[in-house]
Homo-oligomer: A and B are copies of this chain.
């Protein structure tokens, strides 16, 4: 189920760069800093360094926001702000190694987007610049293809940072600077944006940032939108992923979480950072049924029953929120 959604990528209300940046992709430059031999590299040079493909779930941190009764501002997503796609490019660790390795004392990978900044505004207040912990270097990539085609502007072309297992905002589009840094960036999108702020509070840098994704699953079919179902056999199916860990197990309930049965994964395993499809046979008698799914990752983390309340409606992995009623006649 490879379902890229352009809507994922509109962020921070910044205008996208002009499409002219795609006119000579290979000439795109990125500054690599915080390595022993910092320098600018063209996309042409990156392409000579290495080539890998990784499948990742790209999910907006606001996916599931629509289930918060507090009605946070922002798009009230249920499950549509996620996709699972293939990215091709060069591992960031290969790039760092080619420049002498990460400089001493660096603790973060900080990426800066190539959005055109409006004049007369403090750049720090608007620039798309995010820091992730240095451990993300193990899997991070600088990519120029999605699903085998050159990255479109909407998907961050000509060059994008992909941090497998991390929430969408950390996957910097049109990346123009990649720095290994001793501290998190003080850009507002990092210091006060995308923070998990307790209800009634104000965002501040001490609160958790939206970084690693949590284990999560949801049912895609049957769906309440399909109307009343005929009684009898049905295939209940959906997707599940573990964020930075592979998903290991999915259970399905047809009685709102009172009893569970283990579902079967199907289709190719695209790797630890991809979602997997799951399915279970069921026979639904007439009546109203509440279908739910609950995933467990390889580290033993179980998808929680309840959301963590927060001002902006981030990181909703609640299985109860994602459960749905279907009517069977």
Chain A interfacial positions (CB closer than 8 Å to B): 1-3, 47-55, 86, 88, 147-149, 232-235, 237, 266-271, 274, 277, 279
Q: How far is the CB of A43 from chain B (nearest CB, A)?
A: 13
Alpha-carbon distance A279/B50, docked complex (angstroms): 9
**Contacting A148 at CB < 8 Å: which of B1, B48, B54, B268?**
B1
Jot down 21 A-B pairs with beta carbons below 8 A, ordered by A: A1-B147, A1-B148, A2-B2, A2-B86, A3-B148, A47-B235, A48-B233, A49-B235, A51-B235, A51-B237, A51-B266, A51-B279, A52-B267, A53-B266, A53-B268, A54-B268, A86-B267, A268-B269, A268-B270, A268-B271, A270-B270
A50 contact set on B, CB distance < 8 A: 235
Which B residue's beta carbon lies closest to that of A148?
B1
A53 contact set on B, CB distance < 8 A: 266-268, 277
A237 contact set on B, CB distance < 8 A: 51
Alpha-carbon distance A235/B267, docked complex (angstroms): 30
Q: How far is the CB of A55 from chain B (nearest CB, A)?
A: 5
A277 contact set on B, CB distance < 8 A: 53
Alpha-carbon distance A237/B148, docked complex (angstroms): 12
A149 contact set on B, CB distance < 8 A: 3
18 further A-B pairs in the complex, CB-CB below 8 A; given A1-B147, A48-B232, A268-B271: A1-B88, A2-B2, A2-B86, A2-B147, A2-B148, A3-B148, A3-B149, A49-B233, A49-B235, A51-B237, A52-B266, A52-B267, A53-B267, A53-B268, A55-B267, A268-B269, A268-B274, A270-B270
**Contacting A268 at CB < 8 Å: which of B48, B55, B147, B233?**
B55
A235 contact set on B, CB distance < 8 A: 47-51
**Contacting A48 at CB < 8 Å: which of B1, B3, B234, B267?**
B234
A271 contact set on B, CB distance < 8 A: 268
Alpha-carbon distance A1/B51, docked complex (angstroms): 13
Which B residue's beta carbon lies closest to that of A147?
B2
A147 contact set on B, CB distance < 8 A: 1-2
Q: How far is the CB of A92 from chain B (nearest CB, A)?
A: 16
Tell me if B86 and A268 are in contact (CB < 8 A). yes
Q: How far is the CB of A270 from chain B (nearest CB, A)?
A: 4
What 5 A-B pairs are tightest by C-beta distance, nearest first? A53-B267, A1-B148, A268-B270, A48-B233, A51-B235
